[in-house]
Amino acid sequence: MMDLILDSRENRHHQIQSIVSNPKHVVLIIKANTVGLDKNTREAYCLVRIFKNHISQYIRFTSLQLNESYDGPYYIGIIDSSDSTVIKRKTIEIEEQHPLGRLIDLDVYDRGGPLSRSNLAFSPRTCFLCGDIAFHCIKSRKHPEVETMDYVRHITMEFITQSLQSIIKKAMELELNLEHKFGLVTKSSSGSHSDMNYRLMHSTIDVLIPFFIQLFELGYQNELNLVDSARTIGRLAENEMFKHTNGINCYKGLIFVLGATLVAVGQVLSNKQTFSMINQTMKEIFHSVINDFKENLNTHGTNVYDKYGLLGARGEVINGLPSVQAIYDLLKRVDETDENSLRNILVKLILLCEDTTFLTRSGSWEKYLFIKDEFKSLDADNLQDVIRFSNKCILEGLSFGGAADLLITALCLKQIEATFF
Q: Which residues contact 397 (CB under 8 A, 6 or more apart)?
A: 183, 192, 361
Of 9 and 107, which is predicted with more confidence? 107
Residue 64, pLDDT score: 97
Report the share of the chain in percent with pLDDT over 90.
81
Residue 306, pLDDT score: 87
Report the share of the chain in percent with pLDDT over 70.
97
CA-wise closest residue to 66 among 333, 282, 275, 264: 275
pLDDT confidence band for 1 (50 / 70 / 90): very low
pTM above 0.95, yes or no: no
Measured distance CA(233)–CA(99) in Å, rounded: 29
Residue 129, pLDDT score: 86
CA-wise closest residue to 169 among 213, 200, 234: 213
Do residues 320 and 279 lie in contact, with contact meaning Cβ atoms separated by under 8 Å? Answer: yes
Q: Say whether pLDDT at 37 is over 60.
A: no
Q: How far is CA 303 from CA 222, 295, 300, in A?
A: 32, 11, 5
> Which string of DSSP letters, residue by residue, matches 311-366?
-HHHHHHHTT-HHHHHHHHHHHHS-TT-HHHHHHHHHHHHHHS--HHHHHHH-SHH
Long-range CB pairs of 106-109 (<8 Å, 24+ gap) are: 106/28, 106/29, 106/30, 106/51, 106/55, 107/28, 107/29, 107/31, 108/26, 108/27, 108/28, 108/29, 108/84, 109/16, 109/20, 109/26, 109/27, 109/28, 109/29, 109/84
Task: Select, from the ranges 151-155, 255-259, 291-295, the one with the highest average predicted confidence (pLDDT).
Answer: 255-259
Range with the poorest average pLDDT among 26-30, 116-120, 314-318? 116-120
The chain-wide mean pLDDT, for the chain, equals 93
Range with the poorest average pLDDT among 44-53, 135-144, 284-293? 135-144
CA-wise closest residue to 299 among 229, 368, 235, 212: 235
CA-wise closest residue to 26 among 93, 106, 100, 95: 106
Residue 347, pLDDT score: 98
What is the arithmetic mean of pLDDT over 101-129? 92
Residue 39, pLDDT score: 65
pLDDT in tens, 265-322: 999 999 999 999 999 999 999 999 999 988 877 787 888 888 888 999 999 999 999 9
Range with the poorest average pLDDT among 132-136, 172-176, 198-202? 132-136
Handedness of CA 314, 319, 324, 327 (dihedral sign): negative
Range with the poorest average pLDDT among 2-6, 148-152, 394-398? 2-6
